[in-house]
Amino acid sequence: MKTKTLKVDYLARVEGEGGLYVKMKGNAVVDVKLKIFEPPRFFEAFLRGRDFGEAPDITARICGICPVAYQMSAVHALENALGVRVDGQLRALRRLLYCGEWIESHTLHVYMLHAPDFLGYPDAIQMAKDHREAVQRGLRLKKAGNEIVSVVGGREIHPVNVRVGGFYKTPSRRELEPLAEKLKWGRDAALETVRWVSRFPFPEFEPDYLFVALRHPEEYPFNEGRLVSGRGLDISVDHYEEYFVEEHVQHSNALHSTLKEQGAYFVGPLARYNLNFDRLSPLAQEAAREAGLGPACRNPFQSIIVRSIEILYACDEALRIIDHYEPPDTPAVEIQPRAATGCACTEAPRGILYHRYRISDQGLILEAKIVPPTSQNQKTIEQDLWNFIPKYLHLPQEKLVWQCEQAIRNYDPCISCATHFLKVEVDRE
């Protein structure tokens, strides 16, 4: 029988360095390896001995695309350890900052990384030759998200204003007002984005995923909630490590995460959407229905629609927060270090991001554990390829490879985060 290999040596339009190797014998897939060769950077190791107050600045450097997510998981984990609760307008400002990152990160992925696959271009720059108006809309929408991060956080990449207990400085109402104007435009642009991507061609592919996301009693989740799955899991984040395990496999510099006794699971926009549709704003729900989506969506290729709905939600939510904003009396809750352990999970653009810290009575970090979304999705990405490829074997090699890449980009994988990944190889025998 003929062996065939599909190889992508260096996956493009993902954050970080990875590749894909697929081996086939006849019409059967015999091996799929999502390879992550992004160099390891050892964050958990060098956090040891650092002051707990440095954690949000240091862990932000794991990822330039979603630094706010790292900062949010870090501060909430440390506040959990120190028995501090950040409420009221400070809590709302953190949510606003996260809205900014979701808008910026999702828009980057929808317009610049994922849409070119659906329309058959190698990148957004080439796509702009025929779809200049759409690309310009994307850039302006992305900028609106970045401006929130800039005003609340100090700068777009690696914001400086987040601290354990709150912020270094809180904005005035007047400083937030110009954002509201841009977000009103952004909300319309996001609605236009949902309509635009819902007309893309989608392959029929609906695996029975095990979705995992946060769920909050009232809100679409950002910083708080219980960990729930589509199959009955409902736990407090404190019990994360009793249910989820990480294993080290030879072909990847990122650890693979699984749910005990259940195996691979799925985190990110599609998981959040399926588990929290009822928590979306009425405008976002209506846009979803108009795009032809119900409260459940299992086609990973349609994650581009769901991501656009989340951009719309984030614009809507950011406007609500700005509208209700009153500057708090103090920028941060006072913190006294003590020997303690604490953990937290927040919803990064790509899914749940877990942090746990153990600190000394002097406030020095003794131990840190970080589980990023992409390492949790790795196994599910590989499973998708096992299931997806056999249906598309009639395609010429070049087309099949591109389809595999697109299937991986459904997850907006962030390889820089996961090593703390994309080359595609397909072997046909």
Partner 1 sequence: MATRRKPKLAVWKFASCDGCQLSLLDCEDELLAVTDQVEIANFAEASRAVVKGPYDLSLVEGSITTPHDAERIHQIRRTSKFLVTIGACATAGGIQALRNFKDVQDFTSLVYATPQYIQTLNKSTPIVDHVRVDFELHGCPVNKNQLIEVLSAFLNGRKPNTPAYTVCVECKRRGTVCVMVARGTPCLGPVTHAGCGAICPSYNRGCYGCYGPMETPNTGSLAAGWVRLGASESDLVRAFRGFNAYAEAFRRESEAHEDQNPQG
Q: Considering the complex, state which of residue 28 and residue 366 has its C-beta at the smaller distance from partner 1.
A: 366
- 61 contacts partner 1 (rule: CB under 8 A): yes
- CA 309, CA 300: separation in Å to the nearest integer? 14
- CA 153, CA 96: separation in Å to the nearest integer? 10
Handedness of CA 235, 236, 242, 243 (dihedral sign): positive
Spatial strand order of the sheet with 226-229 comes to: 212-215, 226-229, 234-235
Site for partner 1 in 409-428 (CB under 8 A): 414, 416, 420
- CA 145, CA 299: separation in Å to the nearest integer? 27
Q: Which of 155, 289, 338, 391 binds partner 1 (CB under 8 A)?
A: 155
Task: Provide φ and ψ at 156, rounded to 5°.
Answer: -65, -50
Amino acid at 293: L
Are 151 and 171 in contact by the 8 Å Cβ rule? The answer is: yes
| Residue 163: its H or E element | strand 162-163
- 15 contacts partner 1 (rule: CB under 8 A): yes
Token readout for 210 is: 């095990």
User: CA dihedral in degrees (316, 317, 323, 328; nearest 10)?
Assistant: -160
Q: Which positions from 298 to 327 touch partner 1 by CB under 8 A, shown as an x/- string?
A: ------------------------------
Site for partner 1 in 169-198 (CB under 8 A): 169
By CB under 8 A, the count of residues binding partner 1 is 69
Minimum distance from CB of 39 to partner 1 (Å)?
4
Q: Which of 25, 33, 91, 140 binds partner 1 (CB under 8 A)?
A: 140
- 11 contacts partner 1 (rule: CB under 8 A): yes
| Residue 175: its H or E element | helix 173-198
Stretch binding partner 1 (CB under 8 A), from 108-116, 221-229, 300-308, 338-346: 108-116
- 157 contacts partner 1 (rule: CB under 8 A): yes
Q: Considering the complex, state which of residue 156 and residue 382 has its C-beta at the smaller distance from partner 1.
A: 156
Stretch binding partner 1 (CB under 8 A), from 24-32, 153-161, 220-228, 385-393: 153-161
Site for partner 1 in 253-272 (CB under 8 A): 253, 255
- CA 93, CA 91: separation in Å to the nearest integer? 5
Closest CA to 363 of 85, 46, 55: 55
Residues in touch with partner 1 (CB under 8 A)? 10-17, 38-46, 48-51, 54, 57-58, 61-65, 67, 108, 112-113, 122-126, 128, 132, 135-136, 139-140, 142-143, 146, 154-158, 160-161, 163, 168-169, 247-250, 253, 255, 331, 402, 405, 414, 416, 420
